[in-house]
Homo-oligomer: A and B are copies of this chain.
Amino acid sequence: MQRYFLENNIQTDAQIQIIGEDYHHIVRVMRMTVGDMITVVFPNGKVAICEISDILSESVLVDIKSWETVEHELPIHVTIASGLLKGDKLDIVIQKGTELGASQFLPFASDRSIVKLDEKKSGKKLERWRKIAKEAAEQSERNRIPTVEIPSSFQDLINMSKTYTTKIVAYEESARENETSQFSQTLQQLNTGDSLFIIFGPEGGLTPSEVNQLQENDFIICGLGPRILRAETAPMYCLSAISFYYELQR
């Protein structure tokens, strides 16, 4: 069933009004009519199965028929902070990362990032990345659209991590040194509702100085197994493992 994320929580118990882009999608793209069913997700994460009751010139009215009860969100909030990557690699991280349950993405300028974003480019990129997150959230049947922000500096990124339960950094050199226990130990210690902040370097990896700064700010260095993963693959690995651990193993 087609999924729409509303920007406002429910106004009345009775009827929901859908406007703007979602209106356009329902009426023009999907060519739905009165009686068709859609899934509506409210900003608080609640999901309603709705029936279209009326189509007006600029809005669609729908009646709530039932509420969905299955939890589609990871039990822990995961923020993926990735160094800026070449080409469309960050698009992939955001699309796949949304399917895999991330709560937030923070693309940041790392010392070895080849891509640079000036203010104008940042705005455009942010718009694009938020659109990718919204579409992936709809497609993967999530209850929340992950947020995307661009930290203004490495220090800003570190500041953003301060409220998290646990902070880790995926470091290629740890994989090379065969460090295999930290990531799994970290997951064991987290409980439902906790938050996890994970930093990934860009293609060339984080610099030793960046890794030092992270360690001074309580980041735990983790290896992700014995194979060297590309920059865009490592976030998918972490999120898949987190889903497997909390949603399938427990």
- A residues 73-104 in Cβ contact with B at 8 Å: 92, 96, 99-101
Among B99, B181, B228, B237, point to the contact of A227 (Cβ < 8 A).
B99
Q: Does A220 contact B (CB under 8 A)?
A: no
- A residues 193-250 in Cβ contact with B at 8 Å: 224-230, 233, 236-238, 240-241, 243-245, 247-249
Q: A99-B233, A180-B248, A184-B248 are in contact. Are A72 and B226 (CB under 8 A)?
A: yes
Copies of this chain, whole number = 2
A236 CB contacts on chain B under 8 angstroms: 96, 233, 236-237, 240
Distance of A54 from chain B, by nearest CB (Å): 29
Contact call A229/B184, Cβ cutoff below 8 A: no
A183 to B238 CA separation, bound complex (whole angstroms):
18
Q: Does A130 contact B (CB under 8 A)?
A: no
The stretch of A115-123, A137-145, A154-162 that contacts the partner chain: A137-145
Distance of A204 from chain B, by nearest CB (Å): 13
Distance of A145 from chain B, by nearest CB (Å): 13
Distance of A76 from chain B, by nearest CB (Å): 14
Distance of A2 from chain B, by nearest CB (Å): 13
Contact call A227/B101, Cβ cutoff below 8 A: yes
A198 to B172 CA separation, bound complex (whole angstroms):
28
- A residues 35-89 in Cβ contact with B at 8 Å: 70-72
A contact residues vs B (CB 8 Å cutoff)? 70-72, 92, 96, 99-101, 139-142, 178, 180-181, 183-184, 224-230, 233, 236-238, 240-241, 243-245, 247-249
